[in-house]
Amino acid sequence: MPQPNTGTGRLTVTVRSANGALPVEGALVTITLDGEIVGVSTSDESGNTEILSIPTPPKSASLSPGFVGLPYSTVFIEVDKDGFYSGQYIQVPIFPDVLTVQPVNLLPLPEFFAGDTAEGTQFFDESEGYDL
């Protein structure tokens, strides 16, 4: 049986544009864990959100022989800002007692864009490629 989320990890999101060169102020960042919103923040003038506390399994659980499940939580991050395509980050790992810094690069909408921004939403699966 998986351990309850009695640990805590921390998360901040850095929102940028122009391939990371320019900070994006005022982006709405929503963090979801297991279908429930666990944090909402807005990026500041430097493009950074406040540090949010995220429930995780306890750090000691991964050291227990009978541990079942992942030793970390995975969250869904949605980033929205007028004038930009939305960004959605899937399976972002949050480890207990660790500060995770998630970089986000928003793409600006074309000038005079009149379409549905949902058509251009960018999805990023963060479960690929990390070596544990």
Predicted local confidence at residue 64, as pLDDT:
75
Averaged pLDDT for residues 79-97: 93
Whether 30 is in a domain gets the answer yes
Helix or strand holding residue 104 (H, E):
strand 99-105
Encode pLDDT of 55-72 as tens digits: 999 888 777 777 777 889
Calpha distance 23→11 (Å, rounded): 18
The CATH number of the domain where 37 resides is what?
2.60.40.10
Q: What is the pLDDT of residues 28-42, one digit of tens each?
A: 999 999 999 999 999
Q: Is residue 2 part of a domain?
A: no
Report the number of distinct structural domains present in the chain: 1
Q: What is the pLDDT of residue 1?
A: 46
Residue 123: what pLDDT?
62
